[in-house]
Structure 1
Amino acid sequence: MAETDWPVSMATGKPLRFIGQVDLDTPPFELGRMAYLFVEIYDAELDKYFEDNWKVILQEKTGTGLMSPQGPMASETEWLIEGYATQEPDWSEMEAQGNELFKKTHKRDWGKYRDFVAKYDVPKIGGTPSTPGEIYGLKEPLSQWRLMLQLQEREENGKASDLPFYMDYGDGGIGWSLLSNDHQAVHFSWTSG
């Protein structure tokens, strides 16, 4: 990617907001690539939401002479998703578990559903989307994709509690960046809460 390249919105012509980079050279991917995510879901000036106002750039990870990969930078602040590998249900099992627990909420049994959301509805790299049935716009079956990045947004007292900035999904919304199994295509989808 040339230094001057910066994705712009097809809807507004404005530069998209740089959200972050995902190192695809580490587990669970180990692909020798970097992914740069640009998203501008809501345009405050137009007071309008755009479902497909995103771009993910995949780039080979090359040596820079520095200790870490370099890419577009939105500010001097870094926000890292770090953790440990965990086993998660596959796509269909995750959807079935979530649906079953949600059905039980009509019987005023919210505890198990809240536990499910707290466990899987978190910022993560890799794994399984917490609510795969809400991912829209894929031409291929979900089985042809793997989760690259999941970023949810919850608001507490008017402030985003899980991200250093608003993603503007809407209260309780969530976004997913997916990588095709052949590693050639990327898809971003989001839903409001």
Structure 2
Amino acid sequence: MTVSEPVPLAFVPAGGAVREAVTKMGGQPVWIEEPQWPLSRETGERMQFLGQFALGGGRLAYLFMTGGEDDFVDGTYEPEGGENALVVQPGGRVPGFVTVEQRAEGPSAGEDHVPRAAGAGADANADERPWQFLGTPGIEPNWLQGEESPGADWQLVVQLDSCDLPFHVNFGDAGVGYAFLSPDGKEGRFLWQCG
């Protein structure tokens, strides 16, 4: 398999609520099917919506994580700890370690931001831009602490550097988050590492 080049992106203010099924950070999810808002395993409260990412074929992966700027719950870095979730629609399945409720809106990390391709003048070396939207078969993550893929043939959807996001997310000290899609395309996993 040929390894494709990553596509570095910057997220810029949308100037209002985004209501289309497109890649974005913040705001509220644009549900394709019935809402599936994940709940924290520890607190039972709704997780914070971080963003949604286009997967192709009219599908989206919705990223959630427990806590906000002032809240801390341990285990948000664990892919199966019940403190983060990557929900896939349509036709996805919620993993057994995640509890969801049918609520369309909830806590958000910030206002809507949409992607914009980073110009070549900004930084031509994509390996140094670990917040790239990847989502292309063959793209490998830029691990901070060593390989932690959820399993064989899981595809990287997005890699997010907490220092370069448009709002605060707690991925530890200058951490990077990694979202993956299962080989059958129906289930997601998320984890983060920090330096």
TM range (shorter): 0.5 to 0.7
Of the three residues 170, 186, 193, the one matched with 1:191 is 193
- Deviant stretches of 4+, over 4 Å: 41-45
1:148 aligns with 2:157: yes
Specify whether residues 41 and 148 from structure 1 end up closer, same or farther in structure 2 by C-alpha distance, changes over 3 A only: farther
1:134 is aligned to 146
Relative to total residues, which structure has the larger helix share, 1 or 2?
A: 1
- Using the TM superposition, give the Cα deviation of residue 171 of structure 1 relative to its aligned residue in structure 2, in angstroms: 2.3
Residue 7 of structure 1 corresponds to 38
The CA distance in 2 between the partners of 1:76 and 1:167, in whole Å, is 10
SS at match of 1:183: coil
CA pair 76-40 structure 1, distance change in 2 beyond 3 A: closer
Residue 88 of structure 2 aligns with an amino acid whose one-letter code is L
1:35 aligns with 2:61: yes
* One-letter amino acid of the structure 1 residue matched with residue 189 of structure 2: H
Does 2:42 align with 1:17? Answer: no
Alignment pair present for 1:122 and 2:131: yes
Deviations along 1:17-64, one digit per CA (max 9) or x if unpaired, are 001111112xxxxx331111111267845x442233111211129xxx
Cα 1:178–1:42 change in 2 (3 A) is: same
Counterpart CA distance in 2 for 1:48 and 1:59 is: 27
C-alpha spacing 1:39/1:77, structure 2 compared with 1 (3 Å): same
**Is this contact kept in 2: 1:36–1:56, CA < 8 A?**
yes
What CA deviation, in whole Å up to 9, does each residue of 1:102-152 have, x standing for no partner?
A: xxxxxxxxxxxxx6752x4233232321118635372x23xx111101111
Q: Which runs of 5+ in 2 are unaligned?
A: 1-32, 92-103, 119-124
| CA drift at 1:15 | 0.7
TM-score by length of 1: 0.58
SS at 1:12 equivalent: coil
Q: Is the 8 A contact 2:64 2:85 kept in 1?
A: yes
For this pair of structures, how many residues does the alignment match? 136
% identical equivalent positions: 27
Checking the alignment, whether the CA contact within 8 Å between 2:131 and 2:158 is kept in structure 1 is no
Take 1:175 and 1:76, find their aligned partners in 2: how far apart are those partners?
A: 17
Q: What CA RMSD, in Å, does the superposition of the two structures yield over aligned residues?
A: 3.1
Distance 2:38 2:141 in 1: 26
Task: Work out whether residues 50 and 109 of structure 2, in 8 Å CA contact, stay in contact via their aligned partners in 1.
Answer: no
> 1 or 2 for the larger relative contact order (CA 8 Å, sep ≥6)?
2
In the aligned structure 2, how far is the partner of 1:75 from the partner of 1:125?
21
- TM normalised by structure 2 equals 0.57
Summarize the alignment of residues 75-94 of structure 1 with structure 2, pairs less than 5 Å apart. 77-83=111-117
Q: Which residue of 2 aligns with 1:56?
A: 86
Change (3 A) 1:19 1:116: closer
